[in-house]
Amino acid sequence: MKTFYDVSMKWFSLHELEIAESTAYSYSKNLRFINEYFHGKSIYEIDKNDIQDYVKFLYSKGCKTDTITNYFKLINMTFNYAVDYEILPKGANPCYKIVIPKTEKQEINPFSETEMEKILKVKCLPWLYAGEFIAYRTGMRKGEIYALRKKDIDFNGGFIKVQKTQSLTKNAKVILKEPKSKSSRRRIACDKILMNFLWNLSNRSESVFLFPNNDTFFVPWNISSAFTDVCEMAKVPRRTFHELRHTHATVLLSHNVHPKVVQERLGHASIQTTLNTYSHLIPDMQHTAVNVFDKIA
């Protein structure tokens, strides 16, 4: 008897050869949870109702639509593999027309400019403060910031070249790799205050990295708890480090910077992603449009 576990592991052993290590790591974690649910169950016995019940189970646990979709995707690919390799007969994939429930989109919760002033006044670990400062003024992702090398900073041109990011392998080892998409490999123009900050950071490092750890790069393993402490000391509502990226975008948009510029700075693949993410700001911007016509006789 071939269990779902047997088939999913066989499929994954082939598929991981053609995907990024970070993606393989994510898939392996998700497959572990899927196989806990279908533990010992034969691949021949699982039908459409079983898969729909699993989707309902995930929903009942509070999983978001994107999470449920990701789990379902792996189940579907496992069954496609079973059909392709004639473990199951043609047309026997039970994933057809499974309903994925819609969950409410979680709104971003950026810091205000006043809150950021408080946060940046908190004395904390040097690597954390530097990360906060760069994230706020560039919108860079955590992995991009802590992968920065000296050669990624053009001090004459006044910009950062995002060429590397930190990524987890399937063995939970952190490596440097190129960002996934072309849009993520970008140039970010920097203000004078930030360039001076980066210059000082670069001069303090004897490594090729801006955030060194002996002969290699620094990995901010405890950044979540460390940043939570900073929020508490600053007496602002706790948010994640990633909200600094959203804060950068919202500050720019609230000061009437064109969404296309924000898209390029964040490395979004399309302007639609930027507009969808920060659409809650658009109503406030309508006042700017009205003011234009108020000035026209």
Domains defined along the chain, listed by start:
4-84 (1.10.150.130), 113-289 (1.10.443.10)
pLDDT, residue 176, reads 94
pLDDT, residue 286, reads 67
Indicate the burial class of 177 (C-beta count within 10 angstroms; 0-12, 13-18, 19 or more): middle
pLDDT, residue 23, reads 87
Instruction: Please answer whether residues 252 and 142 qualify as being in contact, where contact means their C-beta atoms are separated by less than 8 angstroms.
Output: no
pLDDT, residue 85, reads 95
Q: Which residues contact 225 (CB under 8 A, 6 or more apart)?
A: none
Instruction: Please answer whether residues 163 and 152 qualify as being in contact, where contact means their C-beta atoms are separated by less than 8 angstroms.
Output: yes
**Pick from 32, 5, 27, 40: nearest CA to 73:** 27
pLDDT, residue 285, reads 64
Instruction: Please answer whether residues 120 and 136 qualify as being in contact, where contact means their C-beta atoms are separated by less than 8 angstroms.
Output: yes
DSSP string, the chain: --BHHHHHHHHHHHHGGGS-HHHHHHHHHHHHHHHHHTTT-BTTT--HHHHHHHHHHHHHTT--HHHHHHHHHHHHHHHHHHHHTTSS-TT--TTTT------PPPPP-PPPHHHHHHHTTS---HHHHHHHHHHHHH---HHHHTT-BGGGEETTTTEEE---EEEE-TTS-EEEE--SSTTTS-EEE--HHHHHHHHHHHHH-SSSBSSEETTEE---TTHHHHHHHHHHHHTS----TTHHHHHHHHHHHHTT--HHHHHHHHT-SSHHHHHHHTGGGHHHHHHHHHHHHHT--
The answer to pTM > 0.85 is no
Tens of each residue's pLDDT in the chain, 297 residues: 799 999 999 999 999 999 888 888 899 999 999 999 999 999 999 999 999 999 999 999 999 899 999 999 999 999 999 999 999 999 999 999 999 998 777 778 999 999 999 999 999 999 999 999 999 999 999 999 999 999 999 999 999 999 999 998 877 789 999 987 889 999 999 999 999 999 999 999 999 999 999 889 999 999 999 999 999 999 999 999 999 999 999 999 988 899 999 999 999 999 999 988 887 766 666 666 677 777 785
pLDDT, residue 215, reads 85
Instruction: Please answer whether residues 79 and 38 qualify as being in contact, where contact means their C-beta atoms are separated by less than 8 angstroms.
Output: no
Q: Which two tokens stand for residue 291?
A: 């003011």
Chain Cα centroid distance, residue 74: 20
* Residue 24: how many other CB atoms lie within 10 Å: 19
d(CA 76, CA 48): 11
* Residue 34: how many other CB atoms lie within 10 Å: 20
Instruction: Please answer whether residues 166 and 22 qualify as being in contact, where contact means their C-beta atoms are separated by less than 8 angstroms.
Output: no
